[in-house]
Amino acid sequence: MYVWTVESVSGILEFYNFPIPSLPAASSNHRPSSLPEGVQFVLNTLPVNNQNIGDGDGFTAYVATTDPRESGNVPIEVHEMVIARTEARNRRDYKSADALQSSIKEAGYKIIVCSDEEILARKYRIRMRGIDAPELKMTYGKESKSALVKLIGGKRTTIHVYEQDQFDRYVGDVYCNCAFIQEKMLKNGHAWHFTTYDKRPEFAKWEREARAAQRGLFASLNPEKPWDWRREQRSGGGIQVY
């Protein structure tokens, strides 16, 4: 049986024009000193697919493995599956190629076509920090999701990640085209300030502005709060909600 080494895998990756993993310096944590206090790292995503936007405060993003933070962390097994998939496609064994694509997805990665180029990317589930949007089954839930789609759908985002929550989502501040997305969602009444987890005064101010102008969900006299709705669903044995 042939044993894969870092050198052999790197050579094949170079041949197929896939990113070659590099070992980061021990002292490097890829965190510029200019970042706000509490930021653990920054994600620079590929364009966000509209179908990966779940609601008004959460979405799935992908980061190319050519990104310096990702390149040294891709498991060798994933690179091996990428190479095997390319070889299967070259010999037109599409059944095997599709099976390998599924295995790559199970490992938390995906081969994405971007600008007619195949890119290996890592999957991140994102929860927007400090806001809480109506759930899809709530009044204004679909409108809130549509607002987020208009802001980030098909566009690259920059995410300042602070932590992971109990559902393994990365909680962070989201920026797109020089705009702070949480600010846009709050000012236009597409989400609530999630005061249980966030005490930023500007967030409270933006929600007050939306309330005063009766924008978005605040056009209703008494809009239901998403945390109250989720609590009722859980206590009543309803659908699973996060």
How many Cβ atoms are within 10 Å of 5's Cβ, its own excluded?
A: 10
| Catalytic residue from among 85, 129, 169, 207 | 169
Give the gyration radius of the chain's Cα atoms. Answer: 21
Q: What is the 3-state secondary structure (H, E, C) of 180-204?
A: EHHHHHHHCCCCEECCCCCCCHHHH
- Which one is catalytic: 69, 70, 85, 135? 135
* Catalytic annotation present for 169: yes
CA gap 110, 123 in Å, rounded: 7
Query: 3-class SS at 1?
Result: coil
Residue pair 227/132 in contact (Cβ under 8 Å)? The answer is yes
Q: Using DSSP bridges, classify how beta strands 170-176 and 117-128 pair: parallel, antiparallel or unpaired.
A: parallel
DSSP H/E element including 64: strand 58-64
Name the amino acid, one letter, at 208: R
Q: Write down the catalytic residue from 85, 122, 127, 129.
A: 127
DSSP string over 123-162: EEEEEETTEEPPPTTSTTHHHHHHHHHHHHBTS--EEEEE
Q: Which sequence positions are flagged as catalytic?
A: 127, 135, 169
